[in-house]
Amino acid sequence: MPAHGTPLPVDRAARPLARAGAAPHAGPVSLLRRATTVIACVVALVACASGAPAPGSPAGPPPPPPSFTLVAGGDVLIHSTVTDQAVADGGGVPDFGPQLAALAPPVSGADLALCHLEVPLARPGGPYAGYPSFNAPPELARGLAGIGYDGCSTASNHALDQGAEGLDRTLGTLDAAGLRHAGTARTPDEAGATTMYDVRGVRVAHLSATYGLNGQTVPADRPWSVSLLDPATVLSAAARARAAGAQVVVLSAHWGTENDPEPDFQQLRLAPELLASPDVDLIIGHHAHVVQPFERIGDEWVAYGLGNQLADQETPGTDDGALARFTFTPGADGRWHVNRAEYLPTWIDAGPPIRVRDVSAAPPGSPAAAARDRTDARVAGRGAVAAGLTRG
């Protein structure tokens, strides 16, 4: 397996080329017409080889500017009921695919897709645990990879729910599923390396940090194992990423106040401080478990909180989520910037069965439409729509 900091190309399957149909049978033509046709073909071939258009043909449209899309999802927080549903869907072996299937088109359609794994992963067969000390089935990693995620942020307040052993096991399970990870580490070298993706030829770095660990402390002999949301530490990591060749640096921040749809003091202080740095290009927020606003600060964007992607909580609003989608293009300054910010509202349908729904086109008057309307209102709370945010 490549080293943690080695940029791996994000390989989205190429679309098959359409098969050309057979030409219709041609009738007899005169020698003159044959000669004229041959000459025209030769002229066209020469023109193509020289890069010039054939005489009389219109110039083609200019090529589109280079770009790539990044999609990020909300909290993946596996409560016991979610595990039970996966076991039922898999006939005894956990299968998270059916719960997540509706997200596959937007996630797999992105050039880079990043999830937020908030919980440790258990050994095969368990034991599994939900709140308060999570231990999710390892099959979750395969489910996330199966809908198109390329990697996950792993720094959260639950990162040490199963101790150092659980943290290490989680990263090994992600490795086995082909998912990159940022925010937690098994070794000092891994902690010091930058998680780097090669996205359509653009080097994108992913950082992840958490406000805390639910009262736990990072082990004294492993102080590097979880990245904490200290501004100086984050900016130092971002500068290292830039020095390592990153053209875009994305930070996943585990922050905010649970169940509060408004960003708190820490979020409102840190977002402009971090985005003022030339080394941070985008912040994606997690932890509140409800959708929070998007905001454009200068030329950069922050999504304060994307809600829950997959969970089962009782507090109103915790069934709501947003997939954030950002399109990056190079600016006149030579740097890559977000030139389009979008969101897709999602909703966790408690069923049974539990299913995550894309509620963009939910019928009026339905619970799914109510979830969409809540998300529409919340993402717009800090002027994001006026700044260009749209529902994808």
Question: CB neighbours of 262 closer than 8 A, spacing ≥ 6?
Answer: 292, 293, 381
**pLDDT value, residue 64:** 75
Residue 177 lies in a domain: yes
Tens of pLDDT, residue by residue over 311-362, are: 999 999 999 999 999 999 999 999 999 999 999 999 999 999 999 999 999 9
Model pTM above 0.75: yes
Q: In whole angstroms, how far apart are CA 325 and each of 106, 138, 392?
A: 9, 27, 8
Tens of pLDDT, residue by residue over 118-141, are: 999 999 999 999 999 999 999 999
**pLDDT value, residue 271:** 99
User: Does residue 300 surpass a pLDDT of 80?
Assistant: yes
Buried b (16+ CB within 10 A) or exposed e, 241-280: bbeeebbbbbbbbbbbbeeebbbeeebeebbeebbebebb
DSSP structure string for 303-355: E--BBEEE----STTTTEEEEEEEEEEE-TTS-EEEEEEEEEEEEEE-SSSPE
**pLDDT value, residue 362:** 98
Residue 9 lies in a domain: no
pLDDT band at 1 (very low <50, low <70, confident <90, very high): very low
DSSP 187: S
Tens of pLDDT, residue by residue over 137-173, are: 999 999 999 999 999 999 999 999 999 999 999 999 9
CATH of the domain at 213: 3.60.21.10
User: Average pLDDT, stretch 358-380?
Assistant: 98
**pLDDT value, residue 66:** 93
Taking every pair of Cα atoms in the chain, the longest distance, rounded to a whole number of angstroms, is: 90
Residue 38 lies in a domain: no
CA–CA dist 259, 255 (Å, integer) = 12
Average pLDDT, the chain: 90
User: Does residue 218 surpass a pLDDT of 90?
Assistant: yes
User: Average pLDDT, stretch 97-122?
Assistant: 99
User: Does residue 21 surpass a pLDDT of 90?
Assistant: no
CA–CA dist 197, 202 (Å, integer) = 8
Residue 64 lies in a domain: no
Pull the structure tokens for residue 382. 């800090």
Residue 48 lies in a domain: no
Residue 13 lies in a domain: no
- Structural domain including 279 reads 74-391
CA–CA dist 338, 158 (Å, integer) = 31
Residue 14 lies in a domain: no
Residue 132: cis peptide before it, omega within 30 degrees of 0:
yes
Residue 359 lies in a domain: yes
Q: How many domains does the chain have?
A: 1
